[in-house]
Structure 1
Amino acid sequence: MNPDQSHGVALAGVDGCRAGWIALALLPGHTRPQTLIHASFGDLVDELGPGAILAVDMPMGLPDRISGPGRGPEQAIRPHLGARRSSVFAIPARAAVEAPSYHEACNLAQQTSDPPRKVSKQAFFLFGKIREIDRLLQADPGLRDRIFECHPEFAFCRLNGMVALTTRKKIRGVVNPAGMAERTGLLARHGIDPDSLAAPPPRGAAMDDLVDAAVNLVMAKRYVKGLTAPFPAKPARDRYGITIAIHG
């Protein structure tokens, strides 16, 4: 994408959270990013306005069959993450993501994967948000060049010279101060003012959600400058033409 395309439009890094979606967004006419939160992804897209570029920590593009441990993007980035590779959940085929229950999702995932695999609970809990974006991209193909998938741990790895970070964001469900410090320090070196992350996140979001949104904002900035690449390098598309790739 040409950098001129970002002129006058919002750039946003987005992450899912308890309340729905949190974004750290650089809005037209502003020099400091703003924190936004919405229950609906569509409402967030609407608030950001026409032409907005969104880097989102959520799988996009659902193949009809899976070969190996997850979609191509998950398989492509895991080797770069070392001890952080467990943060990359294996997302199953479309039929499983569209299933109404965990039991049915596991059955359909086994039927559409080689070798047969069930679904992790961590992945299953994402399915509602995956479907929310998927419906939007199906309904409006014009959004597909403006809303793209990122993975925060891989984004940090890319910003760190393709060296995975060594500390965890959370330990036993509690924010790890050392992990947060490592990430906010790296974000500061890439243009995210620490003051943007100093205030507590809005109700319904956690600090790690805001930090993930921040690194995705860096990816959105890099995307419009042509500084990101898709993983895998030659991504497939699903039955609706949605690209199956993580950008970093």
Structure 2
Amino acid sequence: MWVAGVDGCRAGWIAVLMRVDEPQAYRIVTVPTLAAIADAPEKPEVIAVDMPIGLPERTQGSGRLPEQLIRPLLGQRQSSVFAIPSRRAVEAEDYGEACTIAAATSEPSRKVSRQGFAIFPKIREIDALLRARPDLVTRVYEVHPELAFWALNNAKALDQPKKVKGVPYGPGMALRRGLLKQSGLLPDHLIHAPPPRGAAADDLLDALAGLTVALDIARGGGQPFPDPPGRDVHGLPVAIWTLRRS
């Protein structure tokens, strides 16, 4: 069985595919579409992707329930968990329009952050893919790298940021690589591999974090927030997954 950890990047998507019981068998790729990962020759049975899945018609409080549940766990890293607005707002391609719709479909009224708006095209892509291909719904799981690292860090928030002012922060990157090494799930040369063209070092690191969750889910583990996952009006799951804690 193959699994994949996936993150968005300049080239589209970066994925690390790995055979579950053979960690030395892996491949790092960048592809323009998420469908290309689902349809890769390895046919990964678990795809853990750092992108929201399942959109609300309206939002109550600070985003979807998964975001509200995991944010308090992450301490100073909780700002990395964007509040995803309503489906109609995500479908808007103009920032001003997205803000207007988001404010009208949220309680309390909330507009859209620029950072959140920047990932709307990828949210629309994964939403359209899963709605068009229901067979993928049982293979694709939403993850968040900082929640994966929280689990790898014995359910403790990390005290170092991954990036500072948009630039990878050496100590924070090293801390996360250390947690990946300590997990024993990934080979050392993969943890320290250079990113492929079209992706940055932090994109690869986030894909590796997703890969650890994918491996755990494939082995019968995994922990969703909330548990059990919710569903949106199209039947897509609404949950952020991480590794099961022993």
| CA-to-aligned-CA distance 1:102-144 (integer Å, 9 cap, x gap) | 1111111011110110000111001000111111100111111
Q: Equivalents in 2 of 1:135, 1:30: separation in Å?
A: 33
Residue number among 211, 222, 227 corresponding to 1:217 in the alignment: 211
Letter in 2 for 1:167: Q
Please identify runs of 4+ aligned residues in structure 1 that moved more than 3 A.
27-31, 48-51
Q: Equivalents in 1 of 2:200, 2:181: separation in Å?
A: 19
* Structure-2 residue corresponding to 1:5: none
Following TM superposition, by how much is the alpha carbon of 1:29 offset from its aligned partner in structure 2, in angstroms?
8.8
Alignment pair present for 1:68 and 2:61: yes
Matches within 5 A, 1:1-248: 9-27=1-19, 31-32=23-24, 33-50=26-43, 52-190=45-183, 191-248=185-242
Letter in 1 for 2:182: R
Q: Equivalents in 2 of 1:19, 1:90: separation in Å?
A: 24
Moved more, 196-205 or 91-100: 196-205
Retained in 2: the 8 A contact 1:27–1:48?
no
Q: Equivalents in 2 of 1:155, 1:51: separation in Å?
A: 20
* Structure-2 residue corresponding to 1:6: none
Q: Equivalents in 1 of 2:156, 2:99: separation in Å?
A: 34
Following TM superposition, by how much is the alpha carbon of 1:30 offset from its aligned partner in structure 2, in angstroms?
5.4
Letter in 1 for 2:120: F
Following TM superposition, by how much is the alpha carbon of 1:194 offset from its aligned partner in structure 2, in angstroms?
2.3
Q: Equivalents in 1 of 2:10, 2:43: separation in Å?
A: 26
Q: Equivalents in 2 of 1:45, 1:145: separation in Å?
A: 12
Following TM superposition, by how much is the alpha carbon of 1:161 offset from its aligned partner in structure 2, in angstroms?
1.2
- Residue ranges of structure 1 left out of the alignment (5+ in a row): 1-8
Retained in 2: the 8 A contact 1:235–1:244?
yes
Retained in 2: the 8 A contact 1:184–1:194?
no
Following TM superposition, by how much is the alpha carbon of 1:236 offset from its aligned partner in structure 2, in angstroms?
2.1
1:81 counterpart SS class: helix
CA 1:82–1:29 in 2, change beyond 3 Å: closer, same or farther?
Answer: closer
Letter in 2 for 1:209: D
Moved more, 165-174 or 119-128: 165-174
Letter in 1 for 2:206: D
Q: TM-score normalised to the size of structure 2?
A: 0.93
Following TM superposition, by how much is the alpha carbon of 1:49 offset from its aligned partner in structure 2, in angstroms?
4.3
- Residue ranges of structure 2 left out of the alignment (5+ in a row): none
Q: Equivalents in 2 of 1:30, 1:161: separation in Å?
A: 25
Retained in 2: the 8 A contact 1:27–1:34?
no
Letter in 1 for 2:144: H
The count of residues paired between Structure 1 and Structure 2 equals 240
Moved more, 11-20 or 230-239: 230-239
Retained in 2: the 8 A contact 1:63–1:237?
no
Letter in 1 for 2:112: V
Moved more, 28-37 or 205-214: 28-37
Q: CA RMSD in A?
A: 1.5
Q: Equivalents in 2 of 1:51, 1:31: separation in Å?
A: 14
Identity among equivalent pairs (%): 50
Retained in 2: the 8 A contact 1:10–1:48?
no
Q: Equivalents in 1 of 2:21, 2:215: separation in Å?
A: 16
